[in-house]
Structure 1
Amino acid sequence: MASGNNLAVLEALDTAQTQLYHVKAIVIAGMGFFTDAYDLFCITTVSKLLGRLYYYDPAAGKPGKLPHNINNLVTGVALFGTLSGQLVFGWLGDKLGRKKVYGITLILMVCCAICSGLSFGSTSGSVIGTLCFFRFWLGFGIGGDYPLSATIMSEYANKKTRGAFIAAVFAMQGVGIIFAGLVSMILSGLFLKLYPAPTFKQDQIFSTQPEADYLWRIVLMFGSLPALLTYYWRMKMPETGRYTAIIQGNAKQAAADMGRVLDIELDVESDKLSQFKAANQYTLLSHEFFRRHGYHLIGTMTTWFLLDIAFYSQNLTQKDIFPAMGLTNKAPDVNAIREVFETSRAMFVVALLGTFPGYWFTVLFIEKIGRFVIQLVGFFMMSIFMLILGVKYDYLRDNNKFLFVLLYGLTFFFANFGPNSTTFVLPAELFPTRVRSTCHALSAASGKAGAMIGAFVVQSYTLDENVKKIKAAIIFLAFTNMLGFCFTFLVPETKGRSLEEISGEDGGGGGGGSGSQNETQMAATRSVSMEGNGRFEG
């Protein structure tokens, strides 16, 4: 990096040793992602209970069940809200500042999580409709957390550990999924002890104890607690030095804020800042942006889109994985609260053993291996495992449950130690400060578009549980992962370089448009070889 071209405040951030403020930033941003994951995934544990409570028909002679379109709406409406929130808050993060918008998203998440649990109405349809309304706006707040958390963490971090810090924030998603299962499991276990299923008449055998109506509401409202606990600390964070200096043009404030955070004296450099800003005035829709970063944006958007098609199609095999592991029974064999307990237990076990480790492997190895290699290997391994699952699906499910579960676990291990983490990290590093939040939002929204295809289109195709259709769908997902592998070549390696060098804001050419691995690896090597020791001790 041509460090002589960079501002002192940015150079100080890039070379800072890891210290307490880094840890605080990870916790504050990470708790937002913990809440995001909890709120998005806890609905899975209670959605069947909603069917039991509100769609039970004694004449049908079977447990109540949400109609397919209603189930899609209940479980998927937050995805629509998330996509919308990503675009709106991502744009606002660049226009108004990261900190101002950051608090709004948290307030929205707290209020809507509580209101989701208080969903009201005199009919089944009105209760479900109210729930969907509040979960849309809950998703809207969650969507804002994606670009803002990633951007804030990238702009606070030093260049040697930036990828690990951003990945650690995203890894809290795995913790949130675990807690979604754990909280639902604990609460449903308590309800089973406090409210055992009564002995119904034969024609009421599938009725649900009325106390179960409290269970799903408490589970949903619990999601407000971690967000509420971190609001104060989120508001205490100063605006990032990069936004204050480069976008607001306030060199004095940037030096004061970051000097206080880093506990050092920083030069103001007002004249140098004017020159710095003048060279970085181009907008998202300008020819200059597309010349420098057009391929990068295509790369981050397509890879996240393709990854989430597969990631959110997991129910294709999950419905068979849970019984194969002996974690769930068929609905007619258990009462409603017991079904919540078993579903929650299954989610907890699968997330703990299969999903969670991959996130933290990324944190440990992203600065050693690099984003580019982790993403390539992740997509490739997912393709291999899904291809095997697709070709041998019925055989594995019926005759080799151990291998069936193992392949499923490895698929999602390499999703998280792979593109599910790196697609979050890369958009926060590749783009200029002026449009960083917006570009991350565009990439994340592409991912949610893929999630909708996976959750609704792919899974709807296999709704009749036709084995041939399920096999074809899983093979299709293996193909989308290979496309993700190919589009990864549009994205350069960012390891070991400052944000200004990567984006070209320091007067260089940025990462270039080709995304060539050799080109970018050479740049990264030059950067690392030119680094000196940090300017100060943390």
Structure 2
Amino acid sequence: MARQERRAQLQVLTTLDAAKTQWYHFTAIVVAGMGFFTDAYDLFCISLVTKLLGRIYYTDPASPDPGTLPPNVAAAVNGVALCGTLAGQLFFGWLGDKLGRKSVYGMTLLLMVICSVASGLSFGSTPNGVMATLCFFRFWLGFGIGGDYPLSATIMSEYANKKTRGAFIAAVFAMQGFGILAGGIVTLILSTVFRKAFPAPAYLVDAAASTVPQADYVWRIILMLGAAPAILTYYWRTKMPETARYTALVAKNAKQAAADMSKVLQVEIDAESEKLDEITRNKDYGLFSSRFAKRHGFHLLGTAATWFLVDIAYYSQNLFQKDIFASIHWIPKARTMSALEEVFRISRAQTLIALCGTVPGYWFTVFLIDILGRFAIQLLGFAMMTVFMLGLAVPYHHWTTSGNHIGFAVMYGFTFFFANFGPNATTFIVPAEIFPARLRSTCHGISAAAGKAGAIIGAFGFLYAAQPKDKAHVDAGYKPGIGVQNALIVLAVCNFLGFLFTFLVPESKGKSLEEMSGEANEEETTGTSANANAMQPSGLEMV
């Protein structure tokens, strides 16, 4: 039986839901988005310089692949920031619900600035000492980055109107694509400048040995430049008012919420303190309560599982593009070129993929998510990622022997396109929309942390799984993995499982945050009913 009655909603929240797109929306997108620009730059730029680190600190003339970092060192350098990110998502997600979104938002940015600079200043008297220092600072860099996920998503969802909320949150996340692209462009420029300014001495006949001392500055500058966009937006973060939904529904200060949003929206809004008491009465159940489990237990399982599965594939692809490109001979063997030449070729390949596949995918989501809905885009993305992964893996020997680099790159680019026009974006958006305000940041942090657990599995697992199996590498002491082909098949299976888990996640298109979370309903419904509600036309509730 359907029912039309609803608990009366606060004017400040209904005004936010119905607000036309205004300047403050774009300000919030830029301020929150630049945090994600920084996050992506810092997380993914390490993949551009790991080969250079190997050339500088671990050159072994006897190795078939000179300068490659030892697998354990490579795993630590690539994965330690992800471990910090996971911890930061859980901690700052919880803190955002306890202290407020705004008060925690500046902490994460300052931590990112300090640790970006410190990463580039890594020191040590031995190669392992330098790598240990780098890993230390990158862990805390990741910790700050982790806080940006739940806070940026929650702030944008609570500022937005319900008609274009998906596009606004997606636009914040889309800055991740520009961060990845910027990392590639910065590396291209620096490697070109240093290559021309400091050419290898003519007496070095072996290109693999031609690592000029100045190359050590390249990776340090690349890492330190990650602090620049964060510094530029710190002032504006401190000036953002606390979201009205936190102030009203969590802090229970209707007067302050109305005053803050009256300034932002430039309209008169009544405080409605008595109505706030009525709305929030009996709504204080916790994360581990039976009421939360009944209403949102399957939702949290769905958002966490889908994010976990997509990140296994997405981070494996991003962090180890260079290894995949080398396996199909798109990037020549390391022994045939200098260290700076290798950095240039790796960054050129990754920039091309980002420009043609990664960035367009994000913006397709921005433009279409409030038309097609989150559910359809996520299903489409997982399905197409599965298809294109299998298209790379099944005829893998064709790609490695035919020399058809363009065909491989096109299909590989499509996996990134449908990751971002798909689950990589929607898994970020949905957890910020479907949970109660007092647990929204925490639940987003849990979902995001599950994603980073997947990223860690992808970073460490793919590194070892894709170790070459040829005789030269085995004779040099490398433990062979399952190979790139089988690793790609495993990633395809992960995408298919993500497709299935998507059915646990409700559609939130066109609904207010309070409708999705149950905070606007007269009675709490069970988790099963909540899923049914998500499929009903706006204005109806099932009992």
Q: Match for residue 500 of structure 2?
A: 486
Instruction: Report SS of the residue matched to 2:507.
Output: coil
1:294 is paired with a residue of what secondary structure?
helix
Aligned counterpart for 1:503 among listed residues 506, 517, 524 = 517
CA displacement at 1:249 relative to structure 2 = 1.0
1:348 to 348, 351, 354: 351
Q: 1:4: Cα distance to partner?
A: 6.1
Counterpart secondary structure, 2:292: helix
Q: Helix, strand or coil for the counterpart of 1:198?
A: coil
Stretch moving more, 192-201 or 21-30: 192-201
Q: Which string of whole-angstrom CA distances, capped at 9 and with x for unpartnered residues, describes residues 306-355 of structure 1? A: 11111122269834764699863221111111111111111111110011
* Two-structure CA RMSD over aligned residues (Å): 2.3
The 8 Å contact of residues 81 and 143 in structure 1, kept in 2 or not, is answered as: yes
Q: 1:32 aligns with which of 9, 31, 35?
A: 35
Cα distance in 2, alignment partners of residues 356 and 9 from structure 1 = 35
AA at the equivalent of 2:266: D
The 5 A counterparts of 1:107-506 are: 107-201=110-204, 206-314=209-317, 318-319=321-322, 322=325, 328-399=331-402, 400-465=404-469, 469-506=483-520
Q: C-alpha offsets along residues 117-176 of structure 1, whole Å, 9 cap, x if unaligned? A: 111122211111111100000000000000000000000000000000000000000000
Gaps of 5+ in 2: 471-480
Deviates more, 1:154-163 or 1:206-215: 206-215
Give the residue type in structure 1 aligned to 2:28: A
Q: Name the stretch that deviates more: 246-255 or 51-60.
A: 51-60
CA contact (8 A) 1:397 1:404 kept: no
Give the drift of 1:191.
0.8
What is the CA–CA distance in structure 2 between the aligned matches of 1:150 and 1:343, rounded to whole Å?
Answer: 32
Shift of 1:78: 0.3
Deviation at 1:401, TM superposition (A): 3.8
C-alpha distance in 1, partners of 2:217/2:312? 34
TM superposition shift of 1:84: 0.5
Aligned residue pairs, count = 527
Shift of 1:514: 3.3
Compared with structure 1, are the counterparts of its residues 57 and 157 closer, same or farther at alpha carbon in structure 2 (3 Å cutoff)? same
Are the equivalent residues in 2 in contact too, given 1:381–1:414 (CA < 8 A)?
yes
Change in CA separation of 1:204 and 1:366 when aligned onto 2, cut-off 3 Å: closer
* Structure 1, 61-70 or 374-383: larger mean CA deviation: 61-70
The CA distance in 1 between the partners of 2:304 and 2:66, in whole Å, is 42
Q: Decide whether aligned partners of structure 1 residues 394 and 282 sit closer, same or farther in structure 2, where only a CA change above 3 A counts.
A: same
Tell whether the 8 Å contact from 1:390 to 1:471 is kept in structure 2 after alignment: yes
Q: Quickly say closer, same or farther: Cα 1:297–1:349, change in 2 above 3 A.
A: same
Question: Alpha-carbon deviation of 1:260?
Answer: 0.3
- Counting aligned pairs with the same residue, the percent is 60
Question: What's the secondary structure of 1:426's corresponding residue?
Answer: helix
Q: CA-to-partner distance for each residue in 1:418-444, whole Å, 9 max, x for gaps?
A: 000000000000100000000000000
Distance between the aligned counterparts of 2:326 and 2:256, measured in 1? 58
Structure 1 CA distance for aligned equivalents of residues 237 and 115 of structure 2: 19
Amino acid in the other structure paired with 1:413: F
Q: Aligned to 1:5, what secondary structure does the other structure show? A: coil
- 2 CA distance for matches of 1:49 and 1:317? 14
CA contact (8 A) 2:34 2:233 kept: yes
Give TM-score, length-normalised by structure 2. 0.92
Name the aligned partner's letter for residue 513 of structure 2. Answer: L
Structure 2 residue identity aligned to 1:380: A
Counterparts of 1:311 and 1:206, CA distance in 2: 33
Deviates more, 1:459-468 or 1:448-457: 459-468
Quote the Cα distance in structure 2 between the aligned partners of 1:253 and 1:315. Answer: 44
For the 8 Å contact 1:26–1:168, the answer to whether it is kept is yes
Three-state SS of the structure 2 residue aligned to 1:44 is: helix
- Deviation of 1:520 after TM superposition, in Å, equals 2.2
Tell me, in whole angstroms, the C-alpha distance in 2 between the residues paired with 1:325 and 1:26.
Answer: 39
**Matched AA of 1:488:** T
Q: Give me the whole-angstrom Cα distance separating, in 2, the residues matched to 1:211 and 1:315.
A: 27
Which position in structure 2 is the counterpart of 1:513? 527
Moved more, 2-11 or 181-190: 2-11
> Quick one: distance in 2 between partners of 1:186 and 1:509?
59
